[in-house]
Structure 1
């Protein structure tokens, strides 16, 4: 599953988003790329939970 996060602007942002998803949904694998503004999640298809975790971390997720 891939999300676009327009307000992810740096490596710190990417790390925060990655940590939020992996902590909130154990067993997921997350790749966050601030250059493309894309977050890829493997191991979960629960879009609502993923979006909620990204939002709780302070970012605005949208479907890619």
Structure 2
């Protein structure tokens, strides 16, 4: 799954996003591309659960095109 997170601006933001995703699935593979503000996640977890936890920590995602 891919998310676009427009307010992700720095390494700290990327770490927060990664921690949030790992709180749903500790085994998830997360690749953050800060310049494009895109996050690629390989996980068996529900996409809605991932989106909800990102929203909860202040990084509202939208589906990447």
User: Structures share a fold, TM > 0.5?
Assistant: yes
2:19 corresponds to which residue? 19
2:47 corresponds to which residue? 47
Number of aligned pairs? 64
Distance 1:44 1:38 in 2: 19
1:61 corresponds to which residue? 61
1:33 partnered with 2:22: no
TM-score normalised by length of structure 2: 0.87
TM-score normalised by length of structure 1: 0.89
Large movers: runs of 4+ above 4 Å? none
8 Å contact kept, 1:13–1:34:
no
